[in-house]
Every structure is written in structure tokens, then in C-alpha cells.
Amino acid sequence: MIKRVRVIIKGIVQGVGFRPFIYRLANECSLTGSINNDLQGVEIEVQGLYDNIEAFLMQVKAQAPPVSRIKSMETRSMDTVPDEKSFSIKTSIITGNQAPEICPDISICEKCIDEMTDINNRRHEYPFINCTDCGPRYSIINSLPYDRPNTSMAFFEMCSKCKAEYNSHDNRRFHAQPVSCYDCGPVLYSPTDRKQKDIISYAISLLKSGKIIAVKGIGGFHLACDACSDEPVKRLRESKARGEKPFAVMVPDIKYAEKFAYLDKGSKEILLSNASPAVILQKKPDSPLSEYISPNINTYGILLPYTPLHYLLFHYNGPDKPHFKALVMTSANISSKPLIKDEKEFKKLNDSNIYDIISHNREIVNRIDDSVVGRCRNGLIFYRRSRGYAPFSMKLPSSNRQTLCLGAEMKNTIALTADDTCHISPYIGDLKDVDTFLYMLETMKKLKGIYRIRPERISCDKHPLYENTKWARKEAYDRIEIQHHHAHIASVAGEKQYFSDTIGVAFDGSGYGDDGNIWGGEFFLGNPLRYIRAGHLNYTKLQGGRTVPKQPFRTAISYLYQVYGKDFSDIDIPVLKTIDHETIRLITDGLAKDINTFQSSSLGRLFDTVSAISGLRLINSYEGQAAIELEASLSSTYAAYSEKGIYPYDINLVNDVYIIDTKPVIKAVIYDTESKAKISTISLKFHNTIADIILSVCRLLREKTGIRTVMLSGGVFQNRYLRELSDKLLSNSSFDPYFNNMVSPGDEGISYGQAVISSLL
Ligand code: ZN
Ligand code: ZN
Ligand code: FE
């Protein structure tokens, strides 16, 4: 008997070769009907024998294209259509209000690399080769549905050969929107030297001679130079005014990654995945990379070539050995400003160190930074979820009014909700910068348009000085203000879809507390709807306002003042010798007279203090440097938790809240520093102490409530050692610990946490 079924599929099903896949499958199963992209996803109708329809439905899920992601699939019986002869692909029509998910940009695929390196192929060494499995997506999209006229490829008219591939159902470029070739596609050029015929050779020769060049990529420009040569890397540091912040390094292939860093199976898979992020990997000794790539830390951020142009910079003219062992590929921007996406913006940079620009005429519609991920024993850690992974959609506990979630200020992302789905933007940046703030507004407008969301409410952080909160308070929307650390914990609850009461451990640099103090070492009891602050690190008065996170020595002196009063000049630690007396006096006077001071329970600041007291880092040249270097000083010791011991601390119950007194920790760190203990030992003991504090307080809270599920979030949980150790200790003591694996545990994850909470309000 002939039947007809309508199938609605939602998820990432546009721009990923889904329609040709369905077309082939329907023909294989001898079915007639049609497929159509609409704003919901794809809509398929198939008609044929019952068994054939069953076989078709089974294989849709089993054989879906590699980049697609099916979130839901609904089927419904229909009346049969008489005399239907074939299966057809309909042109997209726009119906419905809510948009499907956008496919992130995809790194070049193996098949395209094969064609590009085949001298007889018409796209031999063509720097814009792509197919339905690979190429730019989000970065070129103006609006949905994802069809060529809605992308920056609209500008290029397909030649007859490309058109034939695009229209041929059995071609691997069937409906690949960015398809192009030498005859019809974008071209490379150098804006300063337009006479250059062979741009790629030119770029390679510049890099070989130690020059820094800008290279247009997928979501913005990179600054590139030879990563094995000190001199250009040093110059690049000056150019970007980024102090000692590590540079990402691109290597020709996975074998080279393995030469420079330790790679486990999981890290390899991420490196080779089609998101192609930079992966944080432990350095190997004797690596030929310049020591200026990531000074004072034991890791590299390594990524593989993800555009055809990147690939050609290493392998042009098919050399046996790649032209470079490694290239620095760092985002081109002035620090804390948005990524540069066109040549006009370069003019503002006005940097004589950048020798030339390698550009092309395919417009970047949406900027997007490289993603940065790390791996630890309990899964993926996102340091930055962006190109290849974003924008992305997450589930919410409840359907509610459409809401715009503004995230945190420093590592901002925004989120838009519709029904029970939350769409999260790529990484935006630090909103204290005016241009970044404008970029946030631009992203908001763009995503509202793409997803067709008209928010009726705003949710934002409680911090009265956050630029986005100030903006939200001026807007006429309904507004929900959410405590920063509550949002951190809710982001884990959302990821794990677990909304009952839990213990929450929120450790980070800083967030605005309900009492107006700066929090960051918090224990909560509750769920996304309500929470109580059940414990926290003791308050310490810090002096210096916004300079505090940049100057760990300042925090250290505030801590010394808390422990010893004004009387600590006889202590024999490096910070007191390096920082001049006058500065120290100004800080202690400020503390005594409450000038520019605030109370902090932040663990991030305690990390800064230990880093400064032990003499490791007194002034940060980039955000979080003191804490990152303290983790790095553990090097490969990763010794057992009990081996090197822990520092003493006290827990006091005050008004039913557990207050962790860290003064004994400070005294013990001073003692170890005076006794010339190795920094790695101090660091290990300190990390072990924090994990022990987590375990002890969780035990006390479990005794009180019986709750044994623990959610841990906040920037501190980007620290791999601490994350793995607290996971192990809690698991061994019969707790169920959960960490972020899908959104960043840092402030990039706040917008999603806000969305989770708002959906319940
Ligand atoms: Zn491809
Ligand atoms: Zn063409
Ligand atoms: Fe935070």
C-alpha cells in the first residue's frame, strides 16, 4: 500500500548538505515527494511503500551529513498525492516565526584538500575551495534561510561549470552556497601591492624573511609570522601591546602538533574536528617554537589550517616538507577591541610592524574569533566558544517570553531565547571598550534578525557598573537582574538539564554580590529559581578599585594588611622588596582610611595573592596571568593530592553561613616563601587546599541537607588541575559533581545562565 508522510526535522540542517542527502536517500528508497528548507528547519514529504518509508526514516538519522545535527524529527501521515513521479528539492520559502539553527563555519574537508592538491583538478590550489561539507557559513550569512543571495557570495555570479555542480543532485557541491572557482569566485590580493600576481608565493616569501603580515581568514584577520623565529614574534608582541599573553600557533598537520606538544586521543580528535579550534596542549621539551610564543607557561594553543588559504601557506607548490613548521596566527585587533574584518579598519591600526596585508574580496559579514578549548579528564573546557562552535543553541528548562540576555561585561556573550531554546552568540569581548560595546549591539541586531526574535524582556547582571547593565537599565523593557554567580551555577544546571536543589560552588575573579560586596568564592544551596549563600571565603578588604585585577601585588599587600595590620615590613618575601615603600604605604593608608576599597570574597584574588607573595607574578600583563602562571608552575608534577600536603584553613559557622578563613593559608604561604620552598610546591599545596576546602564545605552542606549533587562553575574552573582534583575528591566521597562542558565556565557562560534562570521567571 502506498503511504505519504510529512517529516519535520529541526536542528542544524541548513547549509550542511542536508537537502541533497535527503534527495539521494529518497531516490535510493524509491520514494517520491519533496524537501524544502523553511524557517523551522527542513520539511520533507515522502510517498511510497510502507517498508520503504520505514527504511528511509531509519537512515535519515543513521546517515545524516557529518556537520548536521538533528535535534528533533516529527512525522505525520498525509493524504497521498496521485501521479507524483519524482522527488524534488523545492526552493526555500519563508514561513513561521522562529528560525532554525545557524551552521557554524566549517574547516576545509579532506575531499577538498585532495582536489586542491590535484594538479589536474580545475580547483588546483584554489584558495576558496569548499563543498557542502566544508567552508564558511555563519561568517558570510546576512539572513536566513541559508541561500546564496542571503550571503556575501551573492556578489559572485557562478560560472557555468560551478552552476552545473551546484545544480547537480549527485555532485558533492550540490547547493553548496559558497561554491566558486578561479573563473567566478573571490580573488586574493594585496591592497598595498596590487601588481602582485602570485599572492601566495609572495606571502610565503614575506613570512620566510621574518616579516609580520595580516591574513584575511574566516571571521577576521590574523597577524601571522614564523613561530620558530624569536625576532618577528617579539616584534608582534610590541605591535599588539599584549604583554605576555600567549599567541596561538598554526601547524601544518597533526604530526607537527605532536612534535611540539603532548597529544592524547581526545585532543587529537578536537584538533582534527571540523570546528578546528585552538587546543591548549602541554609543551614538549626542546620544542623549536620561539620561547616568546607563550612565556612563563607550560602550554601552547595549537590549531590546524582551517581554510584553503591557510593550507596553501604551508603546502603551496606541493613541497615535500611544509614551508613552515609553525606560524603564529593571532587575531588582528588592538587589544580588547573587536577583531578586524576589513582593510579600512587596518588603517586605524596604523602599525608599521605589519609589512603587508593578504586580503580577498569575499566580505566577512559576521566577525568571529578562533575558539580555544582544552581537555581534562572530565571533558571539554571552553576557554572561548566561537568560530566553528558558535552561534549555538541550548535547551532551556521552560518555555517563556522571548528574552535578551546580556551576559557579563568582561568576556561578554549575549543570548536570545524563544520558547525553550536559547541561541548564544559567539565571543564578543570586553564591553568597557566602546567599539566592543558597539559590536555587541551589532551582534544583537544581527542575531535578532536571523532568529526572528523580538525580545520582550532583558535579563542582565546585577553589577551596577557593568556597561551592559547600565544600558539595560535605560532601555524600556521588562528587566530581570541576576546575581553573577547564581548565573554561573545555572549554566551548569542548564547544560545537565538538572533543576532540583544542588550545592553550587562558584569560584571566579569577581561578581557583584547581593550585599554589594565583590563575590567570587561562593557556596550556594538551591536551584535556578532560588538560592541561599550557604558559605563563602572570608571577606578581605582590597584597595585600588579597577587596578586590583591587574596588580596582584596590590591584592597581596591588602591581604598582608588583613593578617598583620600595618606591621609586616620585616617579612622576607620578594613582593615587599620589589614594590617601593611609598606605594605600599599608599595602599595601607588607603586600607586604613577606606579610600578606594572594597570587600572581596573572590578566590581569583586569593590566587593573585599567592602568586604575588611567592614571587611568581606581581603585575599582570594580561587578564588572569597570575593565576594562569600559578597553575602552570605545577608543570608536569601533577603529584598526588596528599603527597605535598595542604595549607591550614578554618571554617566558622556564622549566622548559619560557613565562612572559610583563609588567613592561615596566607601565613603558611609566607612561611614557605621565606623558607625558600619551590614555587611549584607552594602552588601544588595551594591548589590542594582549595580542592580540600571544596570537599569540606560540601560535606558540611550535605550533612545539613542531604544534597549530594554539586555544580561547579566560574572562571577558576578553567584551571585543569583544580577541576580534575575537585572532581576526583568529590566523586570519591560519593558526591555527584558537574562542571561546564558546553559553555565556558568563565564569564562567557553567564548569558546562558541568565537565560536558564529567566526561562523560569
Ligand atoms: Zn569540502
Ligand atoms: Zn566557477
Ligand atoms: Fe564570573
pLDDT at 242 (0 to 100) = 73
Residue 247 near residue 234, CB atoms below 8 Å: no
Q: Coil, strand, or helix at residue 236?
A: helix
* Residue 324, amino acid: F
Euclidean distance between CA atoms 307 and 190, whole angstroms: 18
**Ligand 2 center to 510 CA (angstroms):** 53
pLDDT at 197 (0 to 100) = 79
**Ligand 1 center to 395 CA (angstroms):** 30
C-alpha 1: how far from its chain's center? 52
> Which ligand approaches the C-alpha of residue 511 most closely?
3
Euclidean distance between CA atoms 623 and 618, whole angstroms: 13
**Ligand 1 center to 638 CA (angstroms):** 41
**Ligand 3 center to 492 CA (angstroms):** 13
**Ligand 3 center to 280 CA (angstroms):** 21
User: Which of 248, 273, 249, 268 shows the shortest CA–CA distance to 258?
Assistant: 268
User: Which of 273, 1, 228 shows the shortest CA–CA distance to 110?
Assistant: 273
pLDDT at 661 (0 to 100) = 97
User: Which of 418, 403, 443 shows the shortest CA–CA distance to 96?
Assistant: 418
**Ligand 1 center to 130 CA (angstroms):** 4
114's CB contacts (< 8 A; 6+ apart) are none
Q: What are phi and psi of 454, to 5 degrees?
A: -120, 90
pLDDT at 93 (0 to 100) = 57
Task: Specify the pTM.
Answer: 0.92
> Which ligand approaches the C-alpha of residue 116 most closely?
1
Residue 649 near residue 630, CB atoms below 8 Å: no
Residue 38 near residue 92, CB atoms below 8 Å: yes
**Ligand 1 center to 111 CA (angstroms):** 6
pLDDT along the chain (761 residues), means of 10: 90 80 90 83 90 92 85 90 88 59 90 96 96 93 86 95 91 91 94 81 96 94 96 88 89 96 93 95 93 93 97 91 96 85 82 88 95 91 95 93 96 95 95 95 94 94 96 91 98 97 97 97 97 98 93 96 89 91 94 96 97 94 92 68 79 97 97 93 94 97 97 97 94 97 97 98 94
Residue 302 near residue 251, CB atoms below 8 Å: yes
- Other residues' Cβ atoms within 10 Å of the Cβ of residue 243: 14
Q: What is the pLDDT of residues 317-342, one digit of tens each?
A: 887 899 999 999 999 987 778 999 88
Neighbours of ion ligand 1 (CB under 5 A): 109, 112, 131, 133-134
Please classify residue 124 by burial: count the beta carbons closer than 10 Å to its beta carbon, then call 0-12 exposed, 13-18 middle and 19+ buried: middle
